[in-house]
C-alpha cells in the first residue's frame, strides 16, 4: 500500500534507548530518511540512506532497515531529543513522495 | 552556504489563489528536486509537489487540479500557486531541496530533503 505507518507517540526515560519505527511496502525498495521537528520549527534531516548522518547530528542517532520497516534509534536519549520525528521515502508504485504520519517522542 | 528564503501572502480568503516563492541563494538549481510541503496546524507533513531542474513536475494527486509549481532560473526562484483555496488549505508551507542517491550496483536508492525553508503560515479565512 502507498503508506508509511508510524506510532503516533513514544516515550523514553532520560538516558535510555528508544526505537522509532516506520512501516511500509515501499521501504522494501527505498531507504527511508528521518526528520526531527520541534514545535514551531522547520523539519531537520537527521538520517538518510544507509544510516548516514548530516554534519552536526549527534552520533546517538542511527538508522536501520529490515524488510518493510525502517527504524530510527536514539541511544541515550536526551531531553533535547523530545520532538516529532517523520520518516520519508518514495512510493515504489507511483514514485511519488511519502511521509509517515509522525511520532511524537517524549523524554521522561 | 545555500539558503532558501520564502515569501508570499499569509492571509487569503476562500476561493483566492495562494502564491508563494522560495528564493535559492548561494547555490544552483541543478540536479535537485525542488519541493513544496505543507503542514496543517497540529498535523503531519503533506507533500504538495516537486519540480526537477529539468522542468518536469509531479504533484500530489489530491491537489493536482489546483497546483502549479514553477521555477525561474534567472532569479533562482521556486514558485507555488494553489487555486481556489479553502480553510482546509490553512497550513505552514515549506519549500525544500530534494535529492536522490542511486547506486544500483550497491543496491542503494534513497531520497531525502537536505535543506528546508523556514516556512510560511498561510491562513485561509473569510
Grid coordinates representing A81 are 531529543
Residue listed under C-alpha cell 516515550: A11
Nearest to A4 by CA among A26, A19, A20: A26
Would you state the pLDDT for residue A1? Answer: 55
Helix (H, G, I), strand (E, B) or coil at A81: helix
Chain A residue whose CA is closest to B111: A89
Tens digits of residue pLDDT in A42-96: 999 999 998 999 999 999 999 999 999 999 999 999 999 999 999 999 998 998 9
pLDDT score recorded for residue A75: 98
Which of B94, B108, B113 is opposite residue A49, by nearest beta carbon?
Answer: B108
Cβ–Cβ under 8 Å, residues B19 and B85: no
Which residues have CB under 8 Å from B38's CB, separation 6+?
A: B45, B46, B48, B89, B91, B92, B93, B94
How many Cβ atoms sit within 10 Å of the Cβ of residue B43? 11
Longest dimension (CA), chain A: 40
B118 shares contact with chain A (CB less than 8 Å) = yes
Weakest mean pLDDT among A1-5, A41-45, B10-14, B48-52 = A1-5
Contact B110 A100 (CB under 8 A): no
List pLDDT tens digits, range A26-35.
999 999 999 9
Pairing of strands A61-66, A69-74: antiparallel
CA distance B41 to A39: 11
pLDDT in tens, B73-96: 888 899 999 999 999 999 999 999
The set of residues, in sequence order, having a beta carbon less than 8 Å from that of A75 and lying 6+ positions away, is A17, A60, A62
Q: Which pLDDT belongs to residue B95?
A: 98
Answer yes or no: is pLDDT of B115 > 80: yes
- Residues of chain A whose beta carbon is less than 8 angstroms from a beta carbon of chain B are 29-33, 35, 42-45, 48-50, 54, 86, 88-90, 95-102
Amino acid at each position: 500500500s502507498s503508506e508509511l505507518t508510524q506510532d503516533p507517540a513514544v516515550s523514553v526515560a532520560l538516558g535510555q534507548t528508544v526505537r522509532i519505527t516506520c512501516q511500509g511496502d515501499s521501504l522494501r525498495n527505498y531507504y527511508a530518511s528521518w526528520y526531527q521537528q520541534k514545535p514551531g520549527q522547520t523539519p531537520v534531516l537527521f538520517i538518510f540512506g544507509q544510516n548516514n548522518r548530516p554534519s552536526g547530528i549527534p552520533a546517538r542517532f542511527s538508522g536501520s532497515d529490515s524488510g518493510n520497516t525502517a527504524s530510527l534509534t536514539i541511544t541515550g536519549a536526551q531531553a533535547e531529543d523530545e520532538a516529532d520525528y517523520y520518516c520519508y521515502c518514495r512510493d515504489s508504485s507511483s514514485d511519488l513522495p511519502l511521509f509517515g504520519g509522525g511520532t511524537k517522542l517524549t523524554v521522561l | 552556504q545555500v539558503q532558501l528564503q520564502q515569501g508570499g501572502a499569509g492571509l487569503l480568503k476562500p476561493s483566492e489563489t495562494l502564491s508563494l516563492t522560495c528564493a535559492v541563494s548561494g547555490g544552483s538549481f541543478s540536479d535537485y528536486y525542488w519541493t513544496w510541503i505543507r503542514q496543517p496546524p497540529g498535523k503531519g507533513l503533506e507533500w504538495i509537489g516537486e519540480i526537477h531542474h529539468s522542468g518536469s513536475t509531479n504533484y500530489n494527486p489530491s491537489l493536482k487540479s489546483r497546483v502549479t509549481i514553477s521555477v525561474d532560473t534567472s532569479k533562482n526562484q521556486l514558485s507555488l500557486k494553489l487555486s481556489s483555496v479553502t480553510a482546509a488549505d490553512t497550513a505552514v508551507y515549506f519549500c525544500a531541496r530534494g535529492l536522490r542517491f542511486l547506486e544500483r550496483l550497491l543496491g542503494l536508492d534513497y531520497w531525502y530533503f537536505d535543506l528546508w525553508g523556514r516556512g510560511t503560515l498561510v491562513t485561509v479565512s473569510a
